[in-house]
Structure 1
């Protein structure tokens, strides 16, 4: 929910800074703080992918909070040491360090995101259940799984849903169908084909704050066409009183801040009472002189 208590839609990218955005969405030159502040004028959420590689310093996270409004949302990914190397076992100290580091975000900390490896399957669900039971209640949690059994086998899907529902945790879908619908047509798409999983479509929300990850193409028309089912789903969620968060990706990510706003506009055309996104500050274009 936003500050008014009404359902809200948060949209964002996988990062808040990209070289291709300089002089277009972000000022150039700019400090790290100025880039985040400028990004927060385009989008009101961001994926915390950097925390997957290392827990940030608490002081660094405090600067993230200072550069964003209380309505801005971070979805911070648990470090891979916890999810991939320890596989949720024997990482209590690392977990405490991570939760302490992100504490300065306050209300901006939308959810702690557990992205589990593709080898983490139905037989591992009891481990996930025990891990979720041991988590402090002061945070929301969201889980992304990539083992095909959770999508192809109804029994496995129900098993996972029951565990997540008991913990009031969300199941995060990663919709990559559009990318793999036809062969890649650019270097960025070819590289993304080798790195991203081929994930089935899933649109069932378990909580009042569902999270979607959507991967399109470098072609804007294909990306927009591919997200139309999500526009309808998100519209329905908002009318049910849920507050979704949608992250838009493309292989090169060159246009995603603009695409996020377009997605928000498409939903707002169907839900006029939805609060508009902030207006971005004008950015001076890059020059040769």
Structure 2
């Protein structure tokens, strides 16, 4: 049984000297992060397609079981809304080739304005994608969480091509008002999306947003322990990404989630042991 866990990034200023050695060359940070977590969100690919050598470096720093969930470029999903972006998509797919099996899923995050009327465009886009990759879709339009017909239409579209539906659970975050600058910023930017616990494939992906207080983050993810444990017992292999507004403790929290699941299911493959982190130094 394999449960992969990870964060929204593999390097963060607040992790230096705590989770990652400091100083550490940029080309070694992903390797150090991969000692803590076994997956990472590829948010940077939304803004720019990386150079081939950059992607090759990512592959060298991780083993083949490590999972990248890479976001499609915004020109494809938000600017062109899945239509007329064949060249941009081709360049992106060519760029990520060095990852091989590490490219666990290509993440199609759609804007909040992309609603039920746009599902036919999504269906055409998915049918045109190469079958050599897995795909996962994240939607934010309210109808996909409240209208049974819209839910059914989207599910049928995804199931037809073997794509997953990524939930972004922000309910724990929005339960009470923000108490820090990072939480106040996230309060204005993050979508208010409810949890969705139905998996469509054998590789479900969850994005969970907690609070800057680790105890409240852990409290908020308790329902997901039952869901993820159930998926594992069904033979699925989930990936869970743990976010907090400041992400200061995200690697430790991701490992803690994995540990709480493994306490229920000891058969789950353990996480790697992180490399020792020495004291911070100026030299």
Instruction: Name the counterpart of 1:286.
Output: 280
Q: Secondary structure at the match of 2:96?
A: helix
Instruction: Name the counterpart of 2:216.
Output: 222
Among 169, 181, 189, the residue aligned to 1:187: 181
Residues in 1 aligned to 2:103 and 2:266: alpha-carbon distance in whole angstroms: 27
Residues in 2 aligned to 1:112 and 1:77: alpha-carbon distance in whole angstroms: 6
Residues in 2 aligned to 1:225 and 1:119: alpha-carbon distance in whole angstroms: 32
Residues in 1 aligned to 2:181 and 2:281: alpha-carbon distance in whole angstroms: 26
Equivalences, count:
283
- Tell me how large the CA RMSD over aligned residues is: 0.9
Deviation of the 1:29 alpha carbon: 1.2
Instruction: Name the counterpart of 2:83.
Output: 89
Mapping of residues 19-168 of structure 1, within 5 Å: 19-168=13-162
Query: Is there any run of 5+ residues in structure 2 with no aligned partner, and where?
Result: none
Residues in 2 aligned to 1:158 and 1:62: alpha-carbon distance in whole angstroms: 39
Instruction: Name the counterpart of 1:234.
Output: 228
Query: What is the TM-score with the length of structure 1 in the denominator?
Result: 0.97
Deviation of the 1:28 alpha carbon: 1.2
Query: What is the TM-score with the length of structure 2 in the denominator?
Result: 0.99
Query: Is there any run of 5+ residues in structure 1 with no aligned partner, and where?
Result: 1-6
Deviation of the 1:285 alpha carbon: 2.2
Structure 1 segments, 4+ long, off by >4 Å, are none
Residues in 2 aligned to 1:44 and 1:288: alpha-carbon distance in whole angstroms: 30
Contact 2:182/2:246, CA 8 A, preserved across alignment: yes
Residues in 2 aligned to 1:99 and 1:34: alpha-carbon distance in whole angstroms: 24
Residue 243 (str. 1) matches residue 237 (str. 2): yes
Q: Secondary structure at the match of 1:234?
A: helix
Residues in 2 aligned to 1:61 and 1:54: alpha-carbon distance in whole angstroms: 12
Query: Which digits, 9 at most, give the CA deviation of each residue in 1:69-103, with x for residues without a partner?
Result: 11111000000000000000000011111111111
